């Protein structure tokens, strides 16, 4: 579970990121989960863009994707969600305590 201070830090880092994962009208599919896994392994912090046609609400979509990948939702702003999953070893993002 992330603290408020950690969320603020991750939101600041996420501002510079471009959305690298897009969820369309099919919602969370196996391909979307696989792509999110790959990106989280490589980057720890990813930005996900959801279209207007996404079947569930944007918060439900972000929560479902986070649940299926073992990540945490840092923020949902508009149609964009920020997900974080830290690595146990060789972490590139050092969270404040």
- pLDDT at residue 91 greater than cutoff 90: no
* Residue 59: inside a domain: yes
Does residue 89 belong to any structural domain of this protein? no
95 in any annotated domain? no
Domain extent, residue 72, equals: 4-84
- The CATH number that applies at residue 48 is 3.30.110.60
pLDDT in tens, 30-80: 999 999 999 999 999 999 999 999 889 999 999 999 999 999 999 999 999
| Structural domain total, the chain | 1
Confidence (pLDDT) at 28: 95
Task: For residue 39, tell me if it sits in a domain.
Answer: yes
In angstroms, the Cα distances linking 34 to 6, 13, 40, 41 are: 26, 23, 10, 11
In the prediction, which pLDDT does 62 show? Answer: 96
* pTM for this prediction: 0.93
């Amino acid at each position: 579970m992330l603290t408020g201070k950690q969320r603020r830090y991750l939101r600041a880092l996420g501002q510079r990121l471009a959305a690298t994962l897009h969820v369309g009208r099919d919602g969370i599919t196996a391909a979307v989960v696989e792509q999110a896994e790959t990106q989280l392994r490589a980057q720890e912090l990813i930005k996900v863009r959801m279209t207007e046609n996404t079947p569930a609400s944007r918060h439900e979509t972000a929560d479902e994707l986070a649940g299926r990948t073992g990540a945490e939702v840092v923020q949902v702003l508009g149609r964009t969600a920020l997900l974080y999953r830290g690595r146990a070893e060789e972490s590139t993002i050092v969270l404040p305590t």
